[in-house]
Amino acid sequence: MSSLRLTTVRDLEGEPIATVNAQFVTSTHLPHTWLIIAAADDDGDPNGNPAVHLDSYGPFADPDGARAWAEAHLTPYATRYTAVPLTAPYTYADVEKALGKPVRTFATTRPARANTIARYLKPYDLTRLRYGTRTDTPRHGFTARESDHPELGPVVELTALGPDRHQRDRDHSLMQTVLHHNHPRYEVTDQHTHLLVCRLCDAELHSRAD
């Protein structure tokens, strides 16, 4: 963990009573590059207390190179800084592997639920209709039903309905886009006439986050 002293807290008489530090949690389990984190004073508040914001510079290949750059570019301006190791993003599974712990898995995956999926789609003017409604119904919406797929397992089947084929196609694409971008917990398989939605377990979700 690296830290950087930011400013001094003063009481109403202006006497220093505490020092505020910023702390940066870093990892030693994976290769990393280095950043310089610098504390720059703003104009402060009406009482004369300094306001501080952080700036980052880098990345640098090693800590010595980072500090050498900071000494040349920041120290002449009396800017406070610290060198911080920066790791690449990784998943919980990667951390557990680095620490020698087994990856947490679950014997069964909770299935996707039709009511939950319908609630996710409602803000996008997508209304759930009763299953069995004709595809070309004068009403605009979609059906959602739970079923077991021979390859995917428990899924929710989504079918866009309405009198206009082009509108059905747009709703079909919209449902897929909403779930894909806003709800990564769910995997959507396009069957052209309908969508199959299955829920990913934690291990699958973490492995796909790489």
Per-residue confidence (pLDDT) for residue 36, from 0 to 100? 82
Q: Which residues contact 147 (CB under 8 A, 6 or more apart)?
A: 154, 155, 156, 157
Same domain, 183 and 140: yes
Same domain, 80 and 129: no
Per-residue confidence (pLDDT) for residue 164, from 0 to 100? 92
Tell me, what amino acid is at 10? Answer: R
CB atoms closer than 10 angstroms to residue 118? 19
Each residue's pLDDT tens digit, 41-72: 554 444 555 555 677 787 788 888 888 988 98
Same domain, 13 and 82: yes
Residue 184 is assigned to a structural domain of this protein = yes
Low-confidence ranges of the chain (pLDDT < 70): 1-32, 40-53, 87-109, 202-210
Parent domain of 169: 114-207
CA distance 183 to 118: 13
- The residues facing 161 across adjacent strands are 141
From 20, 54, 88, give the residue that closes a domain. 88
